[in-house]
Amino acid sequence: MGKVASSERRDASKTKRPLTTRQKLSLAMQDPDRWACRIIYQDRDGKRTKRLISPIRWIAKKQNLLALCINREEPRHFTITGIQSVELVDASDVLMGGSTVAEAEPI
Q: What is the pLDDT of residue 95?
A: 73
Between vectors from CA 51 to CA 69 and to CA 18, what angle results, nearest 5°? 110
pLDDT, one tens digit per residue, over 80-106 is: 999 999 999 999 988 765 534 445 666
Which spans in 31-97 are helix H?
Answer: none
- CATH architecture of structural domain 19-106: Roll (2.30)
The yes-or-no verdict on residue 2 having pLDDT over 50 is no
pTM for this structure? Answer: 0.75
Locate the domains of the chain by residue range.
19-106
Q: What is the pLDDT of residue 43?
A: 93
DSSP state of 33: T
* Type of residue found at 78: F
pLDDT, one tens digit per residue, over 35-80 is: 999 999 999 999 999 999 999 999 988 899 999 999 889 999 999 9
